Amino acid sequence: MSDPLKPLLELDGVAAAAKAAQDAVFAVHRLPANLRGGAETAAEASVRAARASAGIDGANPELPEDGSVTDPLLAGALRVAEKLESLLPTWRRAPLQALARLHLLAASDVVSDPDQLGRPQRGGERLELLAQLVTGATSVPGPVLTAVVHGELLALAPFGSADGVVARAAARLSMIATGLDPKALTVPEVAYFRRVPRYVELAQGFAGGTADGVREWLLFCCEAFETGASEARSISSAAG
């Protein structure tokens, strides 16, 4: 069977952008603090990613000094961050189950009806196709697959609540699973948070399905991976 995402690498600039993103992330993994394991970098990156992800959707990303998080989206994003690593095996073999679990974690303070948690309201066949891509139906580089997972889930908004947090968490799982960022050291979410209007505009362009719309989204995501690598570099420096 032909690779359904391979044509994306022929879009102008995409292959080069994916290579640059991968190189930037790999360089972070080679820093002394991360060669020793990178646990401190990964822990801080996880929290920053959660805060930025919630902020993109309008939550206050600041953590209260007393630790009592009351914003429902931020609380959900932090729960997702805490459990993300444990969901990696499920993501690799049964991504739809992982998405259901992500929604349960992300939206439990947002959705009043517990029967709505973890149950896609829309997406159907396209979600199934996305699951096939995640489990091996494509061999495109990690930056490209991660951007597609991210964009598709934003476009489908399958759960009708906390879909942005779920989409960005699924993208982090994809970064890890594809080998783009196996230790989850980087924080591309910060780049998205800094440019929310552009992020929303390009996500809508991706959803439209035109070659230009898809290309612009892929390039934007690759740029965010590089920015996320710079964020990781600063975290690593502080970790020593």
For residue range 97-152, what is the model confidence (pLDDT) as tens digits? Answer: 999 999 999 999 998 888 889 999 999 899 999 999 999 999 999 999 999 999 99
Mean pLDDT value of segment 63-83: 91
* All domains in the chain, ordered by first residue: 8-58+70-239 (1.10.3290)
In angstroms, the CA 81 to CA 85 distance is: 8
In angstroms, the CA 70 to CA 173 distance is: 26
Encode burial over 39-75: b for 16+ CB neighbours within 10 A, e otherwise. ebbbebbbebbbbbbbbbbebebeeeeeeebebbbbb
Q: Which residue has the tokens 């991504």?
A: 95
Q: Tens of pLDDT along 124-139?
A: 899 999 999 999 999 9
- Predicted local confidence at residue 37, as pLDDT: 80
- What percent of the chain stands above pLDDT 70? 99
pTM, entire model: 0.96
- Predicted local confidence at residue 239, as pLDDT: 66
- What percent of the chain stands above pLDDT 90? 87
Q: Tens of pLDDT along 219-237?
A: 999 999 999 999 999 998 8
- Predicted local confidence at residue 1, as pLDDT: 65
Tell me, letter by letter, the H, E, C secondary structure of 55-90.
HHCCCCCCCCCCCCCCCHHHHHHHHHHHHHHHHHHH
Encode burial over 170-190: b for 16+ CB neighbours within 10 A, e otherwise. bbbbbbbbbebbebbbbbbbb
Q: Band of the pLDDT at 238, cuts 50, 70, 90?
A: confident
